Amino acid sequence: MLILGFAGYLALGQYTLPEGPGKDLVLAKCQTCHDIGFVARERLSRERWNAIIDEMVTRGLQITPEERSAILDYLATYLGTEPPPTPPQVQPAPTPKTGAQVYANCAGCHGPQGEGNPPAFPPLKGHVEKLLKAEGGRTYLLLVVLYGLQGPIKVEGKEYAGIMPGFAWLSDEEIALVLNHLAGWGAPQGFKPYTPDEVKAARAKALTPEEVLKLRQGLKLP
């Protein structure tokens, strides 16, 4: 596996996706395994993008036929071998106002109800409750959503070694919403909802996925 230096990582982070129908879906699905820079810098034919999507599905990517078609159309149009069209003048989509809406970014891997998708992706329901009850677990849960996680972990007695991407591209409000949605599946008595200010403060930590793993290893989980 190619290990990027810090400068290379920053260079990838400078890439952004062109505006167009399907952009949000590509962000939600493709960042499951890749920094968006890996996707944005490519200029491939429709056939090549189609083959890449096929490969991602074999690796565990969960998408419906409709989502697959929309993703392929976006990639072939805006990241294809021909110059992309002029971005349409459309009103920006409204910011999701519920945690369930934001959780749609997570459902492809962790399941609509947090049931997981073994052996690739662990369940959240039941496990989130244990995290929130552990000392330091509240902060860890916030940081893993922000910065991702890389390395072997054990969840509900099963080993997982996948890569979780960070979702720092979501707003502070959206991250607070999705964290509180997860807490709705089980939280300790007296749980205080996450706030956008709490998320904003956590952004100053700027951790790597490997550093988040070390935080997890320090938790005393049952």
Q: Summarize pLDDT for 165-211 with one digit per residue, the tens.
A: 999 999 999 999 999 999 998 888 899 999 999 999 999 988 999 99
The pLDDT confidence band at residue 132, using thresholds 50, 70 and 90, is very high
Domain 99-218: which topology?
Answer: Cytochrome Bc1 Complex; Chain D, domain 2 (1.10.760)
pLDDT of residue 7: 36
Domain with CATH 1.10.760.10 in the chain: 99-218
Give pLDDT tens digits for 40-53. Answer: 677 888 898 898 88
pLDDT of residue 162: 77
CA distance linking residue 143 with residue 140, whole number of Å: 5
Give pLDDT tens digits for 82-115. Answer: 766 666 677 776 665 799 999 998 988 898 998 9
Domain 23-79: which topology?
Answer: Cytochrome Bc1 Complex; Chain D, domain 2 (1.10.760)
Q: How many CB atoms neighbour CB 163 within 10 A? A: 13
3-class secondary-structure state, position 155? strand
Full-model pTM: 0.59
Going by C-alpha positions, the residue among 177, 170, 185 that lies closest to residue 99 is 177
**Strand pairing class (153-155; 149-150):** unpaired
